[in-house]
Amino acid sequence: MKLTQIFALAGALLLSSVAMAEGGGDRTFERMMAAKDRAMEAYAAREGKNAPVVSSDAKDETTKEI
């Protein structure tokens, strides 16, 4: 009985570590955001408007390093 509990605990720990490991989620999210940016730029060009500016991008360009 004790041995079974040890194996069950070890299996649960192993399974949880595999489940928490990084998959392709970050790459998928990056591709999704890049596709969204391209679509927004294409829409802005088609409508004759300026491309949208993300506030964090504008902040990075104007912020000086100390």
pLDDT digits (tens, 9 = 90+) for 8-34: 988 888 877 666 656 667 788 889 999
* CA dist., res. 59 & res. 53, Å (int): 10
pTM score of the predicted model: 0.43
pLDDT digits (tens, 9 = 90+) for 33-66: 999 989 988 888 888 877 666 665 555 555 555 5
